[in-house]
Amino acid sequence: MAKNARQEAPIDPEKLGQLARTVFGSLEGAMTAAMIHLGDRMGLYHALAEVDAYDSHGLAEATGLSERWVREWLHQQGAAGLLEHRGSERFALSAEGVAVLSNENHPAFGAGFFSHLPQTMAIAEKIPEAFRSGVGLPYDAFGAEGARGIERGFAPWFRTLLVPAALPRIDGVVEKLEAGGKVADIGCGTGVALIEIAKAYPAAELHGYDISEHALERAEANAKDAGVSNVTFHDARKEPIPQDGRFDFVTTFDCLHDMTQPAEVMKQIRGAIRDDGVWLISDIKSHGSYEANVESNPMAAMMYGTSVLTCMSSALSEEGGAGLGTLGLHGELMMELARAAGFGEIAPVELDHPVNAFYVARP
């Protein structure tokens, strides 16, 4: 009996070593991700941001935690290169580390994305059935913490750059808002973007549409905490996007690629927007081929993995879903779908975002 050809293929020791390092490097990254989650959750980064450096005893006292556990966490974070080792068992968070890991008002803040890491990884227990059936899971499968985690990941940009930097770059939008224009955010999540616009333009009338019960619940609470009264949130399954052309300005932030029927939603947006209205689209920077994505995006592996666990899963959460995935809505496809939906003008706009591409569409 002939042997399997692959069994006879010789193993290159150098390639074997490289692959093993890649595999276990991935496991190391997973462990570091878990430690970032704990550092964020337990307030360790916030405490480190307040002083020049801490040893484990000082950090444990500052946070009210057990010294032995804090010591091991510090050692891991130092070994991972996230904390600076200052000698004598003292560790520090650099100015850049404060921005990325502690300061939620800095646009580079990233620790928020790790806050729902346990819920994301728990989904891996359910995904095998999706591989078999082809049907994925909606975002509410992550529970309330999933909505909070997505909020914490995206909110810094909305709070620091949307109103002062992005909106003024789009012709006619600020004037519409100042004049009391009507705004719709489709896929509004927990409402942070709308609330920032509402605070800046109190004469405007704002509406958020989503299908996540957990996100909408947080959106209502966020609006109450912010003290804004010109924002209304809608469950799009019960209150569909109105088709009477009432909105002056429509936004979709990082959500079209997650939708089961993005082309249909684009048509609904056309029905909702005035003939002189403006649609601001934000979605992940991507290209039309695997090769181009890998070549241009150093985070491609992470994004394809995120797609399996979240984005593509959501986009396949109903039978017949488009399943675009995290890197599936590239610029050419975006423009093709927008034109098919009835938008006569769509063009990219540069808003200096490291991950997202932006487009402005007009009827």
Q: What is the pLDDT of residues 157-194, one digit of tens each?
A: 999 999 999 999 999 999 999 999 999 999 999 999 99
d(CA 104, CA 236): 30
Q: Determine the Cα–Cα distance for residues 145 and 34; give it in Å rounded to an integer.
A: 16
Indicate whether 32 belongs to any domain: yes
Would 116 be classed as within a structural domain? no
pTM: 0.92
127 and 98 share one domain: no
| Residue 54 CB neighbours (<10 A) | 25
Total domain count, the chain: 2
Q: How far is Cα 313 from Cα 323, in angstroms, rounded to an integer? A: 7
Which tens digit of pLDDT belongs to each residue from 130-143?
999 999 999 999 99
Determine contact, residues 282/334, Cβ cutoff 8 Å: no
Q: In this structure, is residue 33 part of a structural domain?
A: yes
Domain match, 51 and 148 both? no
Do 313 and 180 lie in one domain? The reply is: yes
Do residue 318 and residue 258 come from a single domain? yes
CATH of the domain at 43: 1.10.10.10
* 110 occurs within a structural domain: no
Q: What is the mean pLDDT of the chain?
A: 96
CATH number assigned to the domain comprising residue 158 = 3.40.50.150
Same domain, yes or no: 153 and 302:
yes
Q: Assess whether 68 and 134 both reside in one domain.
A: no
CA neighbours closer than 13 Å in the CB half-sphere of residue 51 = 14
The whole-number pLDDT of residue 352 equals 84
Residue where a domain stops, chosen among 103, 131, 164: 103
Expressed as residue numbers, the domain containing 358 is 123-362
DSSP 323: -
Please give the sequence-ordered ranges of beta strands (E in DSSP) within the chain, or none if there are none.
84-85, 91-92, 182-186, 205-210, 231-235, 247-253, 273-284, 345-349, 356-362
In-domain check, residue 111: no
pLDDT for residue 9: 83
What parts of the chain have a pLDDT lower than 50? 1-2
Q: What is the pLDDT of residue 3?
A: 53
